[in-house]
A and B are shown apart, each in its own frame.
Chain A
Amino acid sequence: MSASGIRPGRRGRSVVTGLGVVAPTGIGAARHWESVLAGKSGLGRITRFDPTGYPVRVAGEVPGFRAGEQVPGRLVPQTDRFTHFALAAAEDALADAAADPATLPEYEMAVVTASSSGGTEFGQHEMENLYQKGSSWVGAYQSIAWFYAATTGQVSIRHGMRGPCGVICGEQAGGLDALGQSRRLLDTGSRLVLSGGTDASLCPYGLVAQMSTGRLSTEDDPARAYLPFDAAASGFVPGEGGAVLVVEQADAARARGVPAYGELRGYAAGFDPTADGTAARHSVLVSVVRRALADAGLAPGDIDMVFADASGTLAEDLAEARAITEVFGPGGVPVTAPKTLTGRLYAGGAALDVATALLALSAGVVPHTAGLGRTAPGCEIDLVLDRPRQTDPRTALVLARGHGGFTSALVLGAGDRDARTK
């Protein structure tokens, strides 16, 4: 035993047995997956507030989410929308995994989620109360709804999970980091971890803050607004939603007799100091990918598809395409970015990419990147366009980069949950 509880010897196997999805492509993993295969976009003009006065007017909103129906009534006014999403997704993920927390040891269940900007909309409302009416108008729930740990805390309480709970913030990379952490928890005494992330920062202050990076697309046509790796790339579209996953020790899942979508085989994270514009010494993304592959015990040739970070800005797309080419060779692996259908979901983004990749592994297809036209010069990657490829992929690599330099990679292997269309 060590201070952190790691035992010597090989890491145990971690598998994903349940998926909960709340995304612009639909609520529920099945609906999301249908949208992905159909290339059905969830992007549109913002409806949660009037975006007319802003240069950014397109986003990926979750359609038809009614908190009152999907979240315990008491928690609706007490928590922010990002927590509503997570509570709904956690419920679905546990049901999908046929896991009943009441039957599992309380200290061996944990929750670790990614958070990017916390309860943004809730916070804006309460700051409005403060500045318009005075400090005594700030509500009691501000103390538990706004902060980044709100979701993990509420999910832990809802399901009686008393193990080591955590929250990791790495912006768009956070979802992979949370899943990486779930493996550590499974190696140190937990048997089931709810992991993933959600985000709901589509309120005026949230959007305006995001705009300050200059990376959001100001294109008004939803079909033209988010075109990563495309010659016409104009930035990215923000979205809301995310995914929660049930991650278990493979032995525990087998003992429960439930099939797995796939396995978390390798993970690595690094920091790219060139995110602030300083010249690159080498590609941190390349090094992170190689470390994730080494952690999985796989060679580049073993990877059947790559889910790209796909920032939608020319320089970052090029840097990612070059990194993929450096590891896999020109056109060496199918690359896809179904996130063009949802926009970038911040804390929810990488978690949703992992859910999509697991659905792809269990369905035996490589989903395509819908809506792209001409690939940008210099992007020598085999981008999967127009339609899914029925190539029965057995492994996937998911990439994510978070604002400021966060760089993460997760390697997935296929499981025994078969969702191939007959």
Chain B
Amino acid sequence: MAEFTLDDIRRILRASAGVDEQTDLDGEHFADTAFVDLGYDSLALLELVNRIEREYGIQIPDGDLAHTQTPREALSYVHARLTEAHV
């Protein structure tokens, strides 16, 4: 099963949606800060989902991540999907 960590979320966000000067993706509160407070809008989250789907070969149905607020929530969702895919 592919590893998926907070670092992967950081990496994908950096590459796809960029980082604002005032945002610290490496800060201690990253995992529990809402995406919107990190400066990421709906397009950034769509792009995050698209890239996770492609890289990890999973399908994330529309709306599944619509209520995901933080990187930690996204992480646990993706972990669950990866486990399903693996079983």
Residues in A with CB closer than 8 Å to B87 are none
Most A-side CB within 10 Å, residue of B16, B18, B23: B18
The reply to whether A72 and B21 form a contact with Cβ atoms under 8 Å apart is yes
Interface size on B, residues (CB 8 A): 16
How many residues of A are counted as interface, with CB atoms below 8 angstroms from the partner's CB atoms? 13
Check A78/B54 contact, CB under 8 A, given A139-B47, A141-B43, A144-B43. no
Within A54-94, the residues touching B (CB, 8 Å) are 72-78
Give the residue of A73, A74, A76, A139 whose beta carbon is less than 8 angstroms from that of B50: A139
Contact B39 A74 (CB under 8 A): yes
The smallest C-beta distance from B19 to any residue of chain A, in angstroms, reads: 5
Taken residue by residue from 33 to 56, chain B's Cβ proximity to chain A (1 for < 8 Å, 0 otherwise) reads as 000000100011011001001100
**CB interface residues, A 168-224, toward B, < 8 Å:** none
User: Is the pair B18, A74 in contact by a Cβ cutoff of 8 Å?
Assistant: yes
**Cβ A140 vs Cβ B20 within 8 A:** no
Is B66 interfacial (CB-CB < 8 Å)? no
Question: With A77-B16, A141-B43, A144-B43 as given contacts, are A136 and B53 in contact (CB-CB < 8 Å)?
Answer: yes
In the complex, the answer to whether B21 meets A77 with C-beta atoms within 8 Å is no
Whether A139 pairs with B53 at a CB distance below 8 angstroms is no
Q: CB distance A140 to B18 under 8 Å?
A: no
A139 to B47, CA, bound (A): 6
Please state if A78 and B50 are interface contacts (CB–CB under 8 Å): no
Number of A-B contacts (CB under 8 A): 39
Determine if A77 and B15 form an interchain contact, defined as CB atoms under 8 angstroms apart: yes
Partner of B16, one of A75, A136, A139: A139
Of residues 140 to 166 in A, which have CB atoms within 8 Å of B's CB atoms?
A: 140-141, 144
The answer, yes or no, to whether B6 is at the interface (CB within 8 Å) is no
A137 touches B (CB below 8 Å): yes
Q: Is A140 a contact of B39 with CB atoms below 8 Å? A: no
Contacts of B44 in A (CB 8 A): 74, 140
Cβ–Cβ contact B54 & A74, under 8 A: no
Task: Report A-chain residues with C-beta under 8 Å of the C-beta of B82.
Answer: none
Nearest CB in chain A to that of B47: its residue? A140
Contact of B18 among A76, A136, A137 (CB under 8 A): A76
How far, in whole Å, are A76 and B17 apart by their CA atoms in the complex? 8
Question: Does B47 lie within 8 Å of A141, measured CB to CB?
Answer: yes
A114-141 interface bits toward B, Cβ cutoff 8 Å, 1 = contact, 0 = none: 0000000000000000000000110111
Smallest distance from the beta carbon of A73 to chain B beta carbons, Å? 5
Residues in A neighbouring B18, C-beta threshold 8 A: 73-78
Interface string of A297-331 (1 = CB under 8 A from B): 00000000000000000000000000000000000
Q: Given A136-B50, A136-B54, A140-B50, are A74 and B17 also a contact pair (CB < 8 Å)?
A: yes
Flag if B54 contacts A77 (CB, 8 Å).
no
The CA-CA distance from A75 to B17 in the complex, in Å, is 7
A73 touching B21, Cβ below 8 Å: yes
**Cα(A78)–Cα(B48), bound, Å:** 13
Residues of B contacting A75 in the complex (Cβ-Cβ under 8 angstroms):
18
Beta-carbon nearest neighbor of A140 in chain B: B47
Partner of A73, one of B15, B20, B46, B47: B20
Considering the chains assembled together, what is the distance between the CA atoms of A141 and B45 in angstroms? 11
Compute how far the CA of A148 lies from the CA of B17 in the bound complex, rounded to whole angstroms: 20
Chain B residue numbers with a CB within 8 Å of A74 are 17-20, 39, 44
| Distance of A140 Cα from B19 Cα, bound (Å) | 16
Q: How many angstroms between the C-alpha atoms of A140 and B20 in the bound complex?
A: 18
- Kindly state the separation between the CA atoms of A75 and B54 in the bound complex, as whole angstroms: 23
**Are A140 and B46 interface neighbours, CB within 8 A?**
yes
Residues of B within 8 A of A76 (CB): 18
Q: Contact: A137 with B17, CB < 8 Å? A: no
Docked pose: A144 CA to B39 CA in angstroms: 18
Task: Verify A137–B20 contact, CB threshold 8 A.
Answer: no
Q: Which residues, 1 to 42 on B, are CB-close (under 8 Å) to A?
A: 15-21, 23, 39
Please, could you name 12 A-B residue pairs with CB atoms under 8 Å apart, sorted by A?
A: A72-B21, A73-B18, A73-B20, A74-B20, A74-B39, A78-B17, A78-B43, A136-B50, A136-B53, A137-B54, A139-B16, A140-B44
The 4 nearest A-B residue pairs measured at CB: A140-B47, A74-B18, A77-B18, A73-B19
Q: Which residues of B contact A (CB under 8 A)?
A: 15-21, 23, 39, 43-44, 46-47, 50, 53-54
User: Which residues of chain A have a CB within 8 Å of any CB of chain B?
Assistant: 72-78, 136-137, 139-141, 144
Question: 19 extra interchain contacts, Cβ-Cβ under 8 A, other than A73-B19, A78-B43?
Answer: A72-B20, A73-B21, A73-B23, A74-B20, A75-B18, A77-B17, A77-B18, A136-B50, A136-B53, A136-B54, A139-B16, A139-B47, A139-B50, A140-B43, A140-B46, A140-B47, A140-B50, A141-B43, A144-B43
